[in-house]
Amino acid sequence: MFDLGLKNKVVVITGGSDGLGYASAELLSSQGAKVVICGRRGDYLKEKAQIISKKTNNEVLDVQADVCKTEDCKKLIEQTMTTFKKVDILVNNAGASAAGMFEDVTDKIWEDDINLKLMATVRMCRLVIPYMKSNQSGVIINATIGGGKAPNAGSLPTTVTRAAGINLTKSLANEYAKHNIRVNAICIGLLKSAQWDRRAGPSGVGDLYKEMSKKVPMGKVGDEIDYANLVAFLSSEKSAYITGTAINLDGGLCPVV
């Protein structure tokens, strides 16, 4: 295995019990990082943390938390600090698709999406940055989508909140570079994940991925490990001169670089 120098780094991953977050947690744990995952389903979260820990022979902390709630975000970081005494890396991964035509999107849908995708990231960054400043070192990775750069029709409110996430990424990167805190975004395209499994219906996810792949220049839907590999790289010193970027992970789908 290629050593990324992550041994004993403390990584907090929101939405870490499934899909892209889970794949990232497992990979970073296998690299020797002390991983903290959060999610809303306590028993399920604990079970997934135990699976990772058994596979990697490394400590994984699970904290039941809803990042839409300020107090839960505080609890997540407080328990991380109590257990590991530091936070080296934050992966703001929690999110869910919400896409509709403008006239169909209610105030409630807008408010919920902003709270989950933008304000949760703001809260988490606000909580970890003081510790990172104290250590004069840190990495923040924000999950966004290519639609935040080039929105399609019927993609609201997600593309607006993701665009805000890209702006936040660049703003924080510029503000905290002097403290050696790197902040980058991953603009996800069509990647295999649990949400597609749930949407596939009786026809099966294989047919769904086959249809989705027709939209992608590379002709395929990406894998969860593709995301995890990029998270691991951006978390490591191998990417020490990369900050303020929004990297497309989409097989060439997004028309904007």
Tens of pLDDT, residue by residue over 121-172, are 999 999 999 999 999 999 999 999 999 999 999 999 999 999 999 999 999 9
Residue-level pLDDT at 3: 87
Q: Name the one residue in this structure whose structure tokens are 């907090």.
A: 12
Kind plus residue range of the DSSP H or E element containing 248? strand 246-249
Residues 196-200 have a mean pLDDT of: 76
C-alpha 53/C-alpha 13 separation (Å) is 15
Residues 203-215 have a mean pLDDT of: 90
Residue-level pLDDT at 197: 76
pTM, whole model, 2 decimals? 0.96
Least confident piece of the model among 51-60, 105-114, 118-127, 202-211: 202-211
Domain map of the chain by residue range?
Answer: 10-249
Residues 23-28 have a mean pLDDT of: 98
Exposure of 230 in the CB half-sphere (CA atoms within 13 A): 23
What architecture is domain 10-249? 3-Layer(aba) Sandwich (3.40)
Written as one letter, the residue type at 165 is G
Tens of pLDDT, residue by residue over 77-91, are 999 999 999 999 999
Say if residue 2's pLDDT is above 80.
no
Residue-level pLDDT at 1: 61
The encoded tokens of residue 13 equal 């991953």
The encoded tokens of residue 168 equal 């936040």
